[in-house]
Chain A
């Protein structure tokens, strides 16, 4: 606790440090194994299975990944889905959240119920599948992955509580100065809400980046696979590795490839995480305590 300045190290504190340290190790080791394994040569992997130090060091898998078109296409798909999806999601979410947050008589409440009800009851998989494939004809379109996830009621909820914390005085003075509702939203509300937009945007971005279930349902064209789906395919059937370029007669390093592709998939999250982490903590805290 902050105010207690000097106190002797109690048993519980020691247990806590050990416990947290142990859990930290559990969270780090698997990723280290993946990355280390991805630099280990296939022959070594086939005999020992994994290693904590890449010995002998090999970049074969990465060379294959970055020379062939398959992974580049998957990267493009994932980036497209993440960037376009996040932008659309943020626009839709902040729009509806502001209308709910304004507490407009006769409008806000019905819209809130309308937005939160799907959390309680959903149509399920089959109707969604029929809708996307039979009626919207979105198979093999990136939008088949984006649109079903466009607005997450939980994030609307977070955004509403953040909007409600904006100082009323600023909005009121803008109104007195003659600003219209849309101008207030775009020129005052959104700029003031940058931190919460970052939080909500990051949640959407991670979601889109990791999404494979809708991709599995609706994307059958290998050239349009996003990264997680490509990876899933690599686990399910080894034959996929034939699509990657190999020197004649040599069998492709399947296991090393798997690990390298895994590393490539978590890479961007791993790189962005140190900067984005505090926003996530903030978002969850806001959602948990509710403004």
Chain B
């Protein structure tokens, strides 16, 4: 103990040196001792993040359970060839890009709009209740969302559902939603907005709160209306935050939202033409066909393209917004 104490005193005494005050030299042994605290998490990452990366060699193998990951025979690029010649690849990739683009654009727009609107509300209590309410769907399991959709679109007993009742009320023809693939990209987009709108509005509202008050006072003196202030002051100042979220979203554009889409669509084949994305495809072929090789090949393809996109996105974002870099 006293040794440590004197060491501390000596260090305090040698402080006047201006070089890097935050990085005081410490004995490596002490550092390793602290480093032990990271051990459980490191073990987790090794087993559940890095070992599966090694396991990706299955993509180049004709996998069979008896021989295992390392014993199964290699088959070169056959798995990739099989997927890309299956005729489904184009549709799945297109769906993934299209749906994620829709989700990204719609949720960001909804988040900004909600934040701007929340910012206008002055009653503190109402504002808090409003924020809590619209944030809530974020915490609901995709399965629950799927049940809600069934109630709305098909009715609990298959009797038409709330949306069809409303359509009939306006004298419009009703739709058998679960057999029509056409509207589903839009339905899923609405679901995404409902699910993520409140979450994103919290982020944007935090950004709005950090805008200095004087900017608005200046605007008020110049006679700007609230709408003009929102359009000409708030939105331009939200651009960096939006850019970060946009770039991150673009980076992840190759990863479908597996949970929500699978929970809603499930194994309903009639909806696949517009809703099947890489993740749902991978999951299905793994569970139903047990085709490990091809599935791993698709996964590897997704990871590599995803990695390129994320890296590009982070680099671009670093270049344009140095002060708010992610990672």
B19 at the interface (CB under 8 A from A): no
CA distance A134 to B64 in the complex (A): 11
A13 at the interface (CB under 8 A from B): yes
- The interface size of chain A toward B, counting residues with CB under 8 Å, comes to 103
B120 to chain A, nearest CB (A): 4
CB-nearest residue of chain A to B157: A46
Given contacts A231-B143, A284-B206, contact A111 B55 (CB under 8 A): no
| Residue from A12, A156, A213, A285 within 8 A of B202 (CB atoms) | A285
- On whether the beta carbons of A104 and B206 are closer than 8 Å, the reply is no
- On whether the beta carbons of A20 and B42 are closer than 8 Å, the reply is no
CA distance A30 to B156 in the complex (A): 13
- On whether the beta carbons of B148 and A290 are closer than 8 Å, the reply is no
Given contacts A95-B38, A289-B206, contact A4 B143 (CB under 8 A): no
CB proximity to B under 8 Å, residues A39-67: 45-50
CA distance A266 to B198 in the complex (A): 18
- On whether the beta carbons of B303 and A206 are closer than 8 Å, the reply is no
With a cutoff of 8 Å between Cβ atoms, the chain B residues found around residue A13 in the complex are 120-121, 226
With a cutoff of 8 Å between Cβ atoms, the chain A residues found around residue B143 in the complex are 212, 228, 231-232, 235, 265
- On whether the beta carbons of A123 and B56 are closer than 8 Å, the reply is yes
For A49, A121, A258, which residue has the most chain B Cβ atoms within 10 angstroms? A49
With a cutoff of 8 Å between Cβ atoms, the chain B residues found around residue A37 in the complex are 151, 156
B214 to chain A, nearest CB (A): 10
CA distance A134 to B207 in the complex (A): 47
- On whether the beta carbons of A111 and B213 are closer than 8 Å, the reply is no
CA distance A285 to B210 in the complex (A): 11
CA distance A106 to B2 in the complex (A): 26
Given contacts A262-B144, A284-B203, A284-B206, contact A185 B37 (CB under 8 A): yes
B53 at the interface (CB under 8 A from A): yes
With a cutoff of 8 Å between Cβ atoms, the chain B residues found around residue A26 in the complex are 194
With a cutoff of 8 Å between Cβ atoms, the chain A residues found around residue B216 in the complex are 1, 4
- On whether the beta carbons of B49 and A118 are closer than 8 Å, the reply is yes
| Residue from B28, B52, B133, B207 within 8 A of A128 (CB atoms) | B52
CB proximity to B under 8 Å, residues A17-34: 17, 19-21, 23-24, 26-28, 30-31, 33-34
CB-nearest residue of chain A to B146: A235
Given contacts A185-B37, A258-B147, contact A131 B23 (CB under 8 A): no
Interface size class of B (residues with CB under 8 A): 35 or more
CB proximity to B under 8 Å, residues A89-104: 91-93, 95-96, 98-100, 102-104
B282 at the interface (CB under 8 A from A): yes
B101 at the interface (CB under 8 A from A): no
A66 to chain B, nearest CB (A): 19
With a cutoff of 8 Å between Cβ atoms, the chain A residues found around residue B199 in the complex are 284
B293 to chain A, nearest CB (A): 9
A193 at the interface (CB under 8 A from B): no
CB-nearest residue of chain A to B39: A95
For A16, A93, A265, which residue has the most chain B Cβ atoms within 10 angstroms? A16
CA distance A47 to B220 in the complex (A): 57
Given contacts A33-B151, A99-B34, A176-B8, contact A126 B133 (CB under 8 A): no
A135 to chain B, nearest CB (A): 8
B310 at the interface (CB under 8 A from A): yes
Q: Which residues of A contact B (CB under 8 A)?
A: 1-4, 10-13, 15-17, 19-21, 23-24, 26-28, 30-31, 33-34, 37, 45-50, 88, 91-93, 95-96, 98-100, 102-107, 111, 114-131, 134, 147-148, 150-151, 156, 175-176, 178, 181-182, 185, 206, 209-210, 212-213, 228, 231-232, 235-236, 255, 258-259, 262, 265-266, 269, 273-274, 277, 280-281, 284-285, 288-290
A12-B226, A37-B156, A122-B52 known; 7 new pairs, CB 8 Å cut-off, are A11-B225, A13-B121, A105-B26, A118-B49, A147-B47, A210-B140, A273-B139
List 15 contacting pairs A-B, 8 Å CB cutoff, sorted by A. A11-B225, A24-B130, A30-B151, A37-B156, A95-B37, A99-B37, A115-B45, A117-B49, A123-B299, A127-B69, A134-B69, A235-B143, A277-B132, A284-B199, A289-B210
**The 10 residue pairs across chains A and B that have the minimum distance between CB atoms:** A123-B52, A127-B55, A49-B155, A124-B299, A96-B41, A127-B52, A12-B227, A46-B157, A16-B120, A16-B117
Q: Which residues of B contact A (CB under 8 A)?
A: 1-2, 4-5, 8-9, 22-23, 25-26, 28, 30-35, 37-42, 44-45, 47-56, 58-59, 65, 68-69, 113-114, 116-121, 130-137, 139-144, 146-148, 150-152, 155-162, 165, 194, 197-199, 202-203, 206-207, 210, 213, 216-217, 220, 225-227, 230, 241, 258-259, 262-263, 266-267, 279, 282-283, 286, 292, 295-296, 299-300, 302-303, 306-307, 310-311, 324, 327
